[in-house]
Amino acid sequence: MTFLIRFFLLVIMTSCSSVSFNYAYLDPVLNLFSEKENIVENTLNKTNASFIHILYKNREAVFVLSQSSDGFNKWMGPNDEIIFTFDEVIVKTKGLDYNLEMNKEDFVKLRKMNDGNSTSVRVEFDNPKLQFLPLLFTKFVHTNDIFNTKNTSYLVNQKDIGWRTNIEVERSDSKISLVQELHPHDTKYFVEFYYRYK
């Protein structure tokens, strides 16, 4: 009986040895040790368009500027996602995991706010659907003359749903960056702005 088991195992082992191995299964492991493609550098080299580079969870993407008017910009993503920004703050999204839309009459007040002032901005969320939820924005501005940066942060508070977050915009001579949480059930977006023509 043991002879038959050994013979059967030997037949299986020799038949498997003739099967070719697909090395594509090793690609993810091999890519861990190779240099990661720099998506920003590739985009800078391949296009003259203004764009934003977004890091979100374990994903990254480039959105290209498609419309611009007085600080209000429309950015198009690779899969028809759309992000609208006003003075580098995300005010409306379409096609993301969680979307928001700030009332236009309200978010333009953010530009006129002084340091330490507050204003209410009505926001509509999806997933779950919340319409015209008032968010209290408090603006703080810090200028660093040594590093030539201007940081604008907004403390965002909504007591009814227990949501509190910060929006951080950093402007320097070389770049503009944004850190913003778009939804109470979501994580932060890290955005870098690359303007070709300002």
Residue whose tokens read 């993407």? 61
pTM of the model: 0.78
R_g over Cα of the chain:
25
CA distance 120 to 118: 7
**Cis before 128? omega within 30:** yes
The CATH number of residue 69's host domain is 2.40.360.10
Cα torsion angle, 90, 93, 99, 102, sign: positive
In degrees rounded to 5, what are phi and psi of residue 105? -65, -30
CA distances from 172 to 13, 47, 130, 144, 147 (A): 64, 23, 36, 10, 8
Is the Cβ–Cβ distance between 79 and 65 less than 8 Å? no
Q: Could you report the per-residue pLDDT of 153-178, keeping only the tens digit for each?
A: 999 999 988 999 999 999 998 889 99
Bridge-partner residues for 134, per DSSP?
Answer: 122
Residue 98 covered by a domain:
yes
Task: Output the average pLDDT for the chain.
Answer: 84
Residue 30 covered by a domain:
no
Residue 13 covered by a domain:
no
Residue 18 covered by a domain:
no
The Cβ of residue 191 has, within 10 Å, a number of other Cβ atoms equal to 23
- For residue 44, give its domain range: 39-194
Residue 154 covered by a domain:
yes
Residue 8 covered by a domain:
no
Nearest Cα neighbor of 47 from 62, 29, 67 is 62
Residue 9 covered by a domain:
no
Q: Could you report the per-residue pLDDT of 98-148, keeping only the tens digit for each?
A: 999 999 999 899 988 999 999 999 999 998 888 889 999 999 999 998 889
Q: Could you report the per-residue pLDDT of 26-57, keeping only the tens digit for each?
A: 444 344 344 446 778 887 778 888 999 999 99
Please give the tally of structural domains in the chain. 1
Residue 4 covered by a domain:
no
